[in-house]
Structure 1
């Protein structure tokens, strides 16, 4: 993933049961370092859900990406498991209900991507 003209961070995580809580900490800590304290619950909950979904895809690793621009954050997760459906009928409405401004999913050669944008 290439991100230009904005701050960004990324982490490689083992696809394991503890990965969602680790993703929450990474995202919240990074947003704090960028000066955003008020989105802790929304950002943390969305990061956990996206990573949990990627872990359930059954790959060996998960990539977590975070970027900010214009008081919005992008959280994107890649499952690194190919051959999956783009998404099920429940994940995106659940992400939206957690407070995402927009969200989506797609698949590529490197696996399924899930992403959400939230206001900071």
Structure 2
């Protein structure tokens, strides 16, 4: 969990990289670059929702990692903003991303990506 401020994306990026290393994932530099960029994009998107905090959730399965960022800002509209498609386009620009998505729920905006490691 991070305060929703300008430092959150980089703190989350470091935490994701640290956890992947702890799980003994040693992807190549291009995949690491994608994980870094995608994490920063996801967290920056949730920070922009102007809630008080954001959280990042990381899971792995079958050589893939799922990175999910949550804004914890309840009451958001159903993604009528222009950020959604642009963010997802930027996320999928990374070749190692196999899936991504974004939605809102009672706990705020959720944005996620699955990365081949």
Which stretch has the larger CA shift, 64-73 or 29-38?
29-38
Q: Which structure is higher in helix share?
A: 2
1:19 counterpart residue number = 8
* Aligned-pair CA distance for 1:98: 2.5
* Aligned-pair CA distance for 1:116: 0.3
Deviation track 1:61-86 (CA, whole Å, cap 9, x = no partner) reads 00100000000000000001131343
Unaligned runs of 5+ in 1: 1-11
Scaled by the length of structure 1, what TM-score is found?
Answer: 0.85
Query: In 2, are the aligned partners of 1:84 and 1:111 still within 8 Å (CA)?
Result: no
Matches within 5 A, 1:16-55: 16-38=5-27, 39-55=31-47
Write the distance in 1 (CA, Å) between the matches of 2:77 and 2:38. Answer: 21
Scaled by the length of structure 2, what TM-score is found?
Answer: 0.88
Query: In 1, are the aligned partners of 2:84 and 2:102 still within 8 Å (CA)?
Result: no
Deviation track 1:32-59 (CA, whole Å, cap 9, x = no partner) reads 1111121321111111110011111101
Match of 2:105 among 105, 108, 116: 108
Aligned residues: 109
